[in-house]
A and B are shown apart, each in its own frame.
Chain A
Amino acid sequence: MTDLRIGVYVCHCGTNIAATVDVLALSAYAAKLPGVVISREYKYLCSDPGQELIVQDIRELHLERVVVASCSPMLHEKTFRNVLARADLNPFFLQFVNIREHVSWVHEDKTAATQKAKDLVRAAVRRVRFHKPLEKRRVRINENVLVVGGGIAGIHAALTLADAKKHVYLVEREPTIGGHMAMFDKTFPTLDCAACILTPKMTSVGSHPYITLWTYSEVVQLEGYVGNYKAKIRHKPRYVIEDLCVGCQECVAACIFKEGKAPDEFNLGLSKRKPIYLPFPQAVPQKVLIDPEACIEFKTGKCKKTCVEACAERNAIDFKQTETFDEIEIGSIILATGFKTFDANRNAYYGYGRHSNVFTSLEIERLINASGPTGGELKTRDNRTPQSVGIIHCVGSRDHNTNRWCSKVCCMYSLKLAHLIKERTSAEVYCFYIDMRTPGKGYEEFYDRLLDEGVHFVRGRVAEVTDWAAHPSEVGKLVIRAEDTLAGFVRRIPVDMVVLSVGLEPQADAKEVTRLFNMSCSSEGWFLERHPKLAPVSTFTDGIFLAGACQGPKDIPDSVAQAGAAAAEAMALIDAGEVTLDPYTAHVLEDDCSGCKTCVPLCPYGAIGFDETKAKANINEVLCKGCGTCAAACPSGSIEQNFFEDEEIFAETEGVLLDV
């Protein structure tokens, strides 16, 4: 194959490469390698004149293969592929050698570095002869979008896309959208009422012509690839016909339970609800549902069914309802499944669950909310108004025993709760913190305001919340013991109520969800973005985007911003209409395949199928990501991977090891 005409181009990259690698010597060495008809070195190959140089050489010297030795392919492989394309040469006849990140930036010895660069270039020249003329694949994009999760992020993403006249399916697991934000009383730093700013968006979703809202539903199956996904959605039975129910709630009033007996999930068990219920007053959709665990009819079959009587006009109640399924076709997916709060029972030192007046922050939100269990009055579990309240920051955050990360929102929401508690009860409020993290717009100013309002701040991680009195003033109180690190001694502060500022965690089923959607999460469970700085809303699975706290703890402004970004990236896909995929895929050489099926379970992307009639494996080239696992595992060598065929790899290896 030595009659192929090869051109080698060595870049100085200013002094980045040239200071360590002798680029002139390297270029001279390359000129003498078999097949090389031209070898040049240039200060900045990626510049316009640099690129033009290569285009000209290809045309005038009839080059058939090109080797470029410069920086990382992640940076400029695409650039030089385009150069070949401009000169009407197949872009995959390029071999890109990294002599910057792999040589000049990591070695100091110039002689050794230059020798290493020579070895790498020699290997590339041997390899590039075996390159095949590969073609990128084009795939069409379906315009529909699936948004999973109906919290503030999912809602905002759905509305942004729907307003652009893209059809959106919004699937939410709970019987209503709204997520955690619907449970808050006020939001920081503006102290906007959470429901007041959220419900208009919720009702927009409910009535938008371009949004199909499916609540009490879950995605149970997903197949396909970017632009061409097929999802199966399961609708859990409400035992109420959604199209007929108007949310009048006569059925709830008529229920044979005079009082609720089941714990109200929205109020975190602080109050009770009936078996037939509306999750909260502003629920969207405004439809009731029946809890089969609490309902007498389901348990015994012998209920008077006063609810059915009350709904006689519309007849919306249907005890025989079963789950139903829908299959949809979409081109892109946005995951906005949110977070859960840290389970305070896990921290034994703070007494949650043992001392009755220790609450979580979310419970306090419900207590001070006007539509909550006490109508907005802050009361202890023994029905007193607290005279003193302690707020403990970082519960389940910044803690090697539980979660190491900072949950980002707790300092701000603790300050918000401190303000609201002081406003409603005139209690003394003590905040126990490690650092005060208030970085957002208006956040530090909010903290200043709290300082003026007379909230007491103790900088120290609380050691314990206890109920034994060391002093008469502590009798009957909960004592918070913490070192005041600024004052330099240990404090015991007796309070009536303790609030634990619980951190944010990934949802309990984060790992299952990543498997279902064929993307990844970190070891902690946060969904993995493609790049933490430069690609925070896309994932490594093309066509699947992230929005909101499922990707990492964040506040409402950031969740909304990220949701907008995810919607924009999904829209970019849709507007482009098609996407091109790299051709590094594997394919089965049918004649050689013995049908042993070794490869089938190995594919992390589920791209390998098996044709039972032919008894041969086959690879879906659109799903294939080119990881190489199947090609390496095939016992008979019947799987080849484009751009990494045996000849290419052996040639490169030989090139490195042999000294020509």
Chain B
Amino acid sequence: MSYAYFPGCSLRGTGRAYEESLLAIFQALEVDMQELPDWNCCGATTYMSYDELQSYALAGRNLAIAAKLKQDIVAPCAACYLVLNKTHHYVREYPHIRYAVDRALSAIGMEYAEHVRVLHPLEILLNDVGLAKLKAAVRNPLTKMRVAPYYGCQIVRPYATFDNQRNPVSMDKLLEACGAKVVYYPVKTVCCGGSQKGSLPEVGLDLIRHLLRTAYTNGANVIATACPLCQFNLEVFQKEAAWNDEPKLMPILYFTQLIGIALGLDRRKLGLHRAFVPVETLEKEFDTCLVERA
């Protein structure tokens, strides 16, 4: 059954590499997914904190479109994933919110679609594709990689629909199936600070520092992320965070990029050229794990 792909604004912006690698690996693993037509911004955290009711209506429109196509939504961006799930939860629980959202949607000839599921690529890979199929498709095992699997907070709090809230392991298992060594990462669900690096830098930078340092002390040489903002925060502020004594940079990649490398896909197709921490760092660390051919 075909899924509706909801990129959200960030996957077309700073998170381009996430979209590229996701679409590439889903194609390679034969996951049937088409972009949701005429999708709109979900509101993410900003709009949700500004005007909750309108944000639910916005999110509701995307759900309604998916319902018309009889599809479930795959939302790779952690904020979109959370907002869509939150919309379901609040509309279901509060009649006055349901009323407002229904009214808003009926004005454009749509109705609230409470049965449309909101899924994450991690669960698609784990449940639909399965570890066995993934393992069989690996051409280029990530043997030199010691990965710290960083989930961030929005895909586990407050809704943990496909994995354990406190200690999720879906990303761990997928990366292990690709041949990587997954290190002990006790801060795997600790917040990266989100936009705090901009608004409250002393708080934001501190959180980033802890995440980088803990990965390093536990022996990681790359951090895998599942959220565009987490990826951005961990990647671009490393010098400022001064997280270690040596001038050493830690590559921060999307888990989809790592899976793509393991599947032997083209590096440009995986958006590896978009990394701020130079790809050469990766090559020096990991020998010949990057493959040129498609």
Residues of B close to A468: CB separation below 8 A = 186-187, 210, 214
| Cβ contact within 8 Å between A348 and B166 | yes
B164 located at the interface, meaning its Cβ lies under 8 Å from any Cβ of chain A in the complex: yes
When each residue 191-210 of chain B gets 1 if its CB lies under 8 Å from chain A and 0 otherwise, what string results?
00000000000000000001
Residue A349 contacts which of B166, B187, B210, B214 (CB distance < 8 angstroms)?
B166
When each residue 218-256 of chain B gets 1 if its CB lies under 8 Å from chain A and 0 otherwise, what string results?
000000000000000000000000000000000000000
Report the separation of the CA atoms of residues A470 and B167 in the bound assembly, to the nearest whole angstrom: 19
When each residue 155-172 of chain B gets 1 if its CB lies under 8 Å from chain A and 0 otherwise, what string results?
000000000111100000
Residue B164 contacts which of A348, A466, A470 (CB distance < 8 angstroms)?
A348
On chain A, which size bracket covers the interface? under 10
Given contacts A466-B186, A467-B186, A468-B187, contact A348 B210 (CB under 8 A): no
Report the separation of the CA atoms of residues A469 and B164 in the bound assembly, to the nearest whole angstrom: 23
| Cβ contact within 8 Å between A470 and B210 | yes
When each residue 138-180 of chain B gets 1 if its CB lies under 8 Å from chain A and 0 otherwise, what string results?
0000000000000000000000000011110000000000000
In the assembled complex, the CB of B2 is this many whole angstroms from the nearest CB of chain A, namely: 36
Report the separation of the CA atoms of residues A230 and B167 in the bound assembly, to the nearest whole angstrom: 52
The CB with the most chain B CB atoms within 10 A, among A348, A466, A467, A468, is that of A468
Residues of B close to A349: CB separation below 8 A = 166
Nearest opposing residue in chain B for A467, CB measure:
B186
| Cβ contact within 8 Å between A348 and B167 | yes
Residues of B close to A466: CB separation below 8 A = 186-187
Report the separation of the CA atoms of residues A466 and B167 in the bound assembly, to the nearest whole angstrom: 12
Report the separation of the CA atoms of residues A470 and B190 in the bound assembly, to the nearest whole angstrom: 12
In the assembled complex, the CB of B115 is this many whole angstroms from the nearest CB of chain A, namely: 27
Nearest opposing residue in chain B for A464, CB measure:
B166
Report the separation of the CA atoms of residues A469 and B210 in the bound assembly, to the nearest whole angstrom: 8
In the assembled complex, the CB of A152 is this many whole angstroms from the nearest CB of chain B, namely: 37
Nearest opposing residue in chain B for A471, CB measure:
B210
In the assembled complex, the CB of B86 is this many whole angstroms from the nearest CB of chain A, namely: 19
When each residue 112-154 of chain A gets 1 if its CB lies under 8 Å from chain B and 0 otherwise, what string results?
0000000000000000000000000000000000000000000
In the assembled complex, the CB of A184 is this many whole angstroms from the nearest CB of chain B, namely: 31
In the assembled complex, the CB of A542 is this many whole angstroms from the nearest CB of chain B, namely: 45
In the assembled complex, the CB of B78 is this many whole angstroms from the nearest CB of chain A, namely: 21
When each residue 404-418 of chain A gets 1 if its CB lies under 8 Å from chain B and 0 otherwise, what string results?
000000000000000
Report the separation of the CA atoms of residues A466 and B210 in the bound assembly, to the nearest whole angstrom: 13
In the assembled complex, the CB of A465 is this many whole angstroms from the nearest CB of chain B, namely: 11
Residues of B close to A470: CB separation below 8 A = 210
Report the separation of the CA atoms of residues A470 and B206 in the bound assembly, to the nearest whole angstrom: 9
B residues at A contact (CB < 8 Å): 164-167, 186-187, 210, 214, 217
A residues at B contact (CB < 8 Å): 348-349, 466-470
Q: Which 5 A-B pairs have the closest CB atoms?
A: A348-B166, A468-B186, A468-B214, A468-B187, A470-B210
User: Can you list 12 contacts pairing A with B, beta carbon distance less than 8 Å?
Assistant: A348-B165, A348-B166, A348-B167, A349-B166, A466-B187, A467-B186, A468-B186, A468-B210, A468-B214, A469-B214, A469-B217, A470-B210
13 new A-B pairs (CB below 8 Å) besides A348-B167, A466-B187? A348-B164, A348-B165, A348-B166, A349-B166, A466-B186, A467-B186, A468-B186, A468-B187, A468-B210, A468-B214, A469-B214, A469-B217, A470-B210
